[in-house]
Structure 1
Amino acid sequence: MTNLYTYSTELLLLLFLIITFLQSAYDKLADWKGNLSWLKSHFAETPLKNMVPLLLGTVLVTELVAGVLCAIGWYLLCFQGESGTALTGAIVACLALLMLLFGQRMAKDYDGARTIAIYFVPAIFLVFLLQG
């Protein structure tokens, strides 16, 4: 129980990333066709227009890996005080967010890019905390 208090900030940030990425991955899996259709129109005027299915799959896998690593990392940090898996999960989460940011910028969706930047702040802060 001591780790719950010692690493409370890290554990809460991990929960934030777990919810964010596992829900997002689930949404992509549950409504693949809907997401693909929307993204094809979103990227229709960009150099990415012919790669949307591949990119959606890549983002899905990255989000799933980030969420699972963060969940395993949460358990290990909470019950064993081991932060390596949590750090890896946080780094993968940052990479997923950077992929999403790149896509939003390519589509010239600056409001969407701003939203991604908001998610990036706690993710990169978690990386900072877990490195120490």
Structure 2
Amino acid sequence: MNNAASILILVFLAISFLQSGYDKIFYWKDNLDWLKGHFANTRLKNHVPLALMNVLVLEMISGILCIVGCIELMVNNGRLFGYYGAVFSCITLIMLLFGQRLAKDYDGARTIVIYFIPAVMAVYWLN
């Protein structure tokens, strides 16, 4: 296994994003209600449903690409899907970071950085 570290990070990202997407799909109203309060004093206050849908779509794309990337790495050492999964993961995390900073939730923003570091490592390794 020459790609063990890359596969482990892609699995980590896939689990993170697919679980988050699952939560948004099956608990949409709960997420929406919480986020409306979270962004009540920001420019996003009237756009929370659209922002939540955008994040959901990006999370699902990221997670699916990471899973396909793992399979591709294991089957033929291909890196294309894993690379795109890592890039989409970074884009998704930057969007989440922007939202947390906008809401002045600095602890939440700090947590996102913990996910961002391995995502950038995956981009670097799979490039």
TM-score normalized with structure 2 length: 0.99
Question: What amino acid does structure 2 have at the position aligned with 1:49?
Answer: K
Structure 2: runs of 5 or more not aligned:
none
2:31 aligned partner: 35
CA offset at residue 94 of structure 1?
A: 0.4
Are 1:91 and 2:87 matched, yes or no? yes
Letter in 1 for 2:51: L
Secondary structure, aligned partner of 1:99: helix
What is the match of residue 80 of structure 1?
76
Q: What SS does the corresponding residue of 1:47 show, helix, strand or coil? A: coil
Residue 130 (structure 1) aligns with: 126
Does residue 21 of structure 2 align to residue 25 of structure 1?
A: yes
Pairwise CA RMSD:
0.4
- The aligned counterpart of 1:120 is 116
* 2-structure distance, mates of 1:48, 1:92: 22
Equivalent position of 2:63 in the other structure:
67
The residue type paired with residue 120 of structure 2 is I
Task: Indicate yes or no: 2:12 matched with 1:16.
Answer: yes
Percent of aligned positions with the same letter in both sequences?
A: 53
Alignment correspondent of 1:51: 47
Aligned length: 127
What is the CA distance between 1:59 and its match in structure 2?
0.1
- One-letter code aligned to 2:42: T
**Can you give the 5+ residue segments of structure 1 that lack an aligned partner in the other structure?**
none
Q: What is the CA deviation profile of residues 11-31 of structure 1, one whole-angstrom value per residue up to 9, with x for unaligned ones?
A: 000010010000000000010
Q: 1:6 is paired with a residue of what secondary structure?
A: coil
Q: Offset at 1:84?
A: 0.5
Aligned to 2:107: 111
Shift of 1:128: 0.5
